[in-house]
Amino acid sequence: MSRRIFRTVPLHNKAFLVEWKQKPSDKLLEIILSFKSAIDKDAKVSRTVMGYQSLLIHMKEEIQNMSLWNEYLNELQIKIQPKIIDKGKIWKIPVCYDNIFAPDLIPLAKSLKIEVEELIQIHSKTKYRVYFIGFLPGFLYLNGLDKRLHFPRKKNPQLKVPKGAIGIGGRQTGVYPNESPGGWHLIGKTPISLFDAKQKKPCFASPGDWVSFEPIDKRKYYELKRKIQKDNFKMLPNQ
């Protein structure tokens, strides 16, 4: 049997966590997605929730024998190790980087010692991998932010970050799917809704997909917003 590269942590009588030792990477993402795909098919499992290095497993009934699950996961590790996930869908999210939507864009550029235009170019030219969805419904945890844009989060988070705000915090960038408190530096805004509870699939993107940001001007922003309000717009992948 291959060396075990994860550990299981019981959380309560109906849930346990599988934690991997590796640092977050595309390879680890493939492994976790493969585990999730197999485990989701088990009739005893109610749902699974991904993290950067973990998979939370909720059971329908109380866990009677954790050792059986450990054996199953060990066998699963051997079976799925060679499995490679597909390339994932590519989503282009339109973003207006205008100052009216980007209160922290100029201060952040100054702190990073780069021009505003360069910050926008670096941010929008990068392709980001969706690792998992959490924090808020529809909040995409994206990997791939260029090191030139890494910057600590705000010391004093603001209480109300608007829906659709694009932020940078630490080594990450992301979109706030709804109004919420937040400590990231806000550099733009999208009119696109990342979470719609009325849809069969509330969030259009999935772990393993790719996201890029497409710069748009204010005119295009408001045009898209009107289309969305009239239910005249549908988010479609590039492939």
With a cut of 70, say whether residue 3 has pLDDT above it.
no
Confidence of residue 239 (pLDDT cuts 50, 70, 90): low
State the fold for domain 90-229.
Answer: Cyclophilin (2.40.100)
Helix axes 116-125, 105-112, angle to 10 degrees: 90
Those residues with Cβ within 8 angstroms of residue 16's Cβ, 6 or more apart along the chain or in another chain: 8, 9, 10, 56, 57, 63, 66, 69
Confidence of residue 1 (pLDDT cuts 50, 70, 90): very low
Q: Which residue has the higher pLDDT, 29 or 187?
A: 187
With a cut of 80, say whether residue 82 has pLDDT above it.
no
Q: Which two tokens stand for residue 136?
A: 């808020």
With a cut of 50, say whether residue 53 has pLDDT above it.
yes
pTM score of the predicted model = 0.82
How would you label 160-173 residue by residue, b for 16+ Cβ within 10 Å and e otherwise?
A: ebebbbbbbbeebb
Domain with CATH 2.40.100.10 in the chain: 90-229
Domain with CATH 3.30.1360.40 in the chain: 6-80
Coil, strand or helix: which one is 12? strand
Confidence of residue 235 (pLDDT cuts 50, 70, 90): confident
Alpha-carbon span 186 to 200, nearest angstrom: 30
In this structure, CATH architecture of domain 6-80: 2-Layer Sandwich (3.30)
With a cut of 50, say whether residue 39 has pLDDT above it.
yes
